[in-house]
């Protein structure tokens, strides 16, 4: 045990003496989290997107198009859409510069078609280089179209009246006959108000209890969700670097020298695995501390999280211990290690929101430590005990250790 601790202490001291690589690996998740956080964090309570720039081309220049323009000018809409009235050529120029997501074209005779309850078409010209914002404009216009269609149908008779008034000379309008018509319109307006104020069917965003769902989403929440995925990915990188010592020492003869001392193979293997575990855990906690300080990330119950971190770093040390026993040399370890980590991270959800991933990717993700750590961290954040992730990481970690110890012992027989 004394010798095991001696080797362990020496390993820790060595890595602290030249920490450049480890520091870079700690810095990467922080930088990536900051970048993604800045880009995807909600800017206002309602919107996670920047204002969408739209060019409006009005070929109608009549009552309905003016109303539509007015609708774009409403405060709520202005938060989402930044509308400029211009022509299609200018819209195209702006699109090429990345300054317009869509052009909305109001057709000629739009007002007259509406008044006649004739089908009319609004055209949304989408920026082909953009993937999301043009769709948002399309959805917005679809909603506007539904509302306009509804209004036109509800007030079809009144619209016909207005149409007649627009066509006829003022002196021919039977003003005295308009009284009952206006009365009917008034009744409809009252009915509409009844449905709209308050809305007959409203949608209320609620704080959901299940699976930690929450409706109000802040930048801090985003950081809290992202950091565990990043942290486990770079924990894998760091522990792999640390465990590669096993291979280097075999190659450069230090292992042979150690084996000429009273140090027993089991003590050496134990020291290496314990070293990977302890240093991995320490580095993970440094990341947690930095995440809390820089991003004010929430981790939930620290005791639970510490258990989860210990299980994850134990798994990682055992995995790379076994891996080091299987590979031939340092170059092979480097060539295979990084792809394995990236594959774990890609399938396990470190690189993107698991919900957005294809089903096959999600299924494969169950085989990765990333997935269990990320799920565990989500449970801890929601105040729950991460029983399943802890059990999976610990049990599979023990299995890996059981495989790693004899394999590594064999490798010490130099």
Partner 1 sequence: MKKLRRILHVAVNDLRIMVGDKAFFFWSLVFPMMFIILFGLLFKASDSAPAVAELTVVNLDEGRWGAYFLDKIKTPTIELKIVRSEPAEYSRLIVLPPDFSAGIEARRAQKLAFKKRRDASTKAAARVETRLYQAVARMLSELVLYGDGDLAKFLDGHAEFRDIVQVKTRFPEKTVTVVPSGFDHSIPGTTVQFIMMMVIIYGGITVLEDRKNGVLARMLFSPLSKAEVFQAKLLGRWLMGMVQALILIVVGKIFFKLNLGDFGLSLLVLGAFALAMAALSIFIGSLCTKEDMIIGLAVLLANLFAGLGGCWWPNEIVPLGVRRAAMISPAYWAMDALHKLRFFQGGFGDILPHLGILLALAAILGAVAARAFRVRE
Site for partner 1 in 226-255 (CB under 8 A): 237, 241
Using DSSP bridges, classify how beta strands 52-58 and 81-85 pair: parallel, antiparallel or unpaired.
parallel
User: Least distance in Å: CB of 1 to partner 1?
Assistant: 31
Q: Which C-beta is closer to partner 1: that of 221 or that of 263?
A: 221
Reduced to 3 states (helix: H, G, I; strand: E, B; else coil), residue 117 is coil
Binding of partner 1 by 289 (CB under 8 A) = no
Which of 62, 101, 316, 350 touches partner 1 by CB under 8 A?
A: 101
Q: Which C-beta is closer to partner 1: that of 169 or that of 183?
A: 183
Q: Which C-beta is closer to partner 1: that of 134 or that of 397?
A: 134
Q: Which C-beta is closer to partner 1: that of 306 or that of 336?
A: 336
Stretch that binds partner 1, among 1-9, 16-24, 249-257, 365-373 (CB under 8 A): 16-24
Q: Are 378 and 212 in contact (CB under 8 A)?
A: yes
The token duo for 200 is 């007959």
Binding of partner 1 by 377 (CB under 8 A) = no
CA 70 to chain centre: 35
- Residues, the chain, total? 414
User: Hey, which residues does 105 pair with through a beta bridge?
Assistant: 57, 123
Binding of partner 1 by 95 (CB under 8 A) = yes
| HSE of 310, CA atoms in CB hemisphere, 13 A | 9
Binding of partner 1 by 33 (CB under 8 A) = no
Which of 63, 122, 162, 403 touches partner 1 by CB under 8 A?
A: 122
Q: Are 206 and 215 in contact (CB under 8 A)?
A: yes
Binding of partner 1 by 299 (CB under 8 A) = no
Stretch that binds partner 1, among 3-11, 36-44, 173-181, 293-301 (CB under 8 A): 36-44
Which of 25, 223, 277, 372 touches partner 1 by CB under 8 A?
A: 25
| Euclidean distance between CA atoms 397 and 310, whole angstroms | 11
Of residues 202-221, which lie at the interface with partner 1 (CB under 8 A)?
Answer: 202-208, 210-215, 217, 221
Binding of partner 1 by 194 (CB under 8 A) = yes
Which of 5, 6, 16, 39 touches partner 1 by CB under 8 A?
A: 39
User: Least distance in Å: CB of 78 to partner 1?
Assistant: 16
Of residues 333-352, which lie at the interface with partner 1 (CB under 8 A)?
Answer: 334-336, 338-339, 342-343, 346, 352
| Euclidean distance between CA atoms 348 and 370, whole angstroms | 5
The token duo for 238 is 């760091």
Stretch that binds partner 1, among 117-125, 277-285, 289-297, 401-409 (CB under 8 A): 117-125
For 163-197, b/e burial (b = at least 16 CB within 10 A) is beeeeeeeeeeeeeeeeeeeeeeeeeeeeeeeeee
Q: Which C-beta is closer to partner 1: that of 148 or that of 317?
A: 148
* Size, binding site for partner 1 by CB under 8 A: 108
Which of 141, 231, 310, 380 touches partner 1 by CB under 8 A?
A: 141
Residue 110 burial class via C-beta count within 10 angstroms: exposed 0-12, middle 13-18, buried 19 and up: buried
Stretch that binds partner 1, among 143-151, 271-279, 291-299, 386-394 (CB under 8 A): 143-151
User: Least distance in Å: CB of 219 to partner 1?
Assistant: 12
- Residue 397: enclosing H or E segment and its boundaries? helix 387-412
Which of 9, 16, 44, 143 touches partner 1 by CB under 8 A?
A: 143
User: Least distance in Å: CB of 277 to partner 1?
Assistant: 20
- Residue 55: enclosing H or E segment and its boundaries? strand 52-58
User: Least distance in Å: CB of 298 to partner 1?
Assistant: 12
Binding of partner 1 by 293 (CB under 8 A) = no
Which of 70, 98, 253, 383 touches partner 1 by CB under 8 A?
A: 98
Which of 307, 342, 311, 336 lies closest to 322, judged by CA?
Answer: 336
Strands laid side by side in the 81-85 sheet: 81-85, 52-58, 102-106
Q: Are 349 and 365 in contact (CB under 8 A)?
A: yes
Q: Which C-beta is closer to partner 1: that of 62 or that of 127?
A: 127
Of residues 380-409, which lie at the interface with partner 1 (CB under 8 A)?
Answer: none
Q: Are 300 and 380 in contact (CB under 8 A)?
A: yes
| Euclidean distance between CA atoms 11 and 275, whole angstroms | 7
| Euclidean distance between CA atoms 231 and 367, whole angstroms | 18
């Amino acid at each position: 045990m004394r010798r095991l601790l001696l080797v362990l202490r020496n390993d820790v001291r060595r890595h602290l003496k030249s920490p450049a690589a480890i520091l870079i690996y700690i810095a990467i998740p922080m930088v990536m989290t900051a970048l993604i956080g800045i880009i995807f964090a909600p800017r206002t309570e309602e919107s996670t997107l920047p204002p969408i720039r739209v060019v409006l081309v009005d070929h109608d220049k009549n009552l309905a198009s003016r109303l539509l323009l007015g609708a774009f000018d409403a405060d709520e809409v202005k938060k989402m859409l930044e509308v400029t009235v211009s022509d299609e050529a200018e819209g195209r120029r702006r699109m090429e510069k990345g300054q317009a997501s869509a052009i909305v074209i109001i057709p000629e005779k739009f007002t007259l078609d509406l008044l006649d309850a004739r089908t009319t078409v609004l055209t949304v010209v989408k920026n082909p280089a953009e993937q999301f914002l043009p769709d948002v404009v399309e959805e917005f216009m679809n909603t506007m179209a539904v509302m306009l269609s509804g209004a036109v149908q509800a007030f079809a008779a009144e619209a016909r009246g207005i149409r007649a008034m627009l066509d006829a000379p003022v002196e021919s309008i039977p003003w005295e006959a308009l009284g009952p018509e206006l009365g009917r319109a008034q009744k409809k307006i009252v009915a509409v108000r009844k449905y709209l104020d308050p809305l007959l069917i409203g949608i209320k965003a609620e704080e959901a209890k299940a699976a930690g769902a929450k409706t109000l989403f802040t930048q801090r929440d985003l950081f809290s969700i992202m950091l565990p995925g990043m942290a486990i990915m770079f924990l894998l990188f760091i522990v792999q670097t640390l465990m590669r010592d096993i291979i280097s020492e075999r190659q450069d003869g230090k292992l042979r020298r150690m084996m000429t001392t009273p140090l027993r193979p089991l003590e050496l293997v134990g020291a290496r695995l314990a070293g990977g575990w302890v240093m991995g855990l320490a580095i993970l906690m440094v990341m947690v501390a930095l995440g809390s300080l820089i991003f004010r990330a929430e981790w939930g119950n620290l005791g639970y999280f510490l258990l989860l971190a210990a299980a994850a770093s134990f798994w990682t040390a055992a995995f790379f211990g076994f891996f080091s026993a299987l590979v031939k040399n340092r170059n092979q370890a480097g060539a295979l290690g990084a792809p394995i980590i990236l594959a774990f991270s890609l399938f396990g959800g470190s690189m993107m929101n698991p919900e957005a991933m294809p089903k096959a990717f999600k299924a494969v993700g169950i085989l990765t430590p990333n997935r269990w750590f990320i799920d565990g961290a989500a449970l801890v954040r929601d105040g729950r005990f991460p029983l399943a992730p802890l059990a999976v990481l610990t049990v599979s970690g023990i299995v890996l250790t059981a495989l790693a110890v004899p394999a590594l012992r064999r490798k010490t027989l130099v």
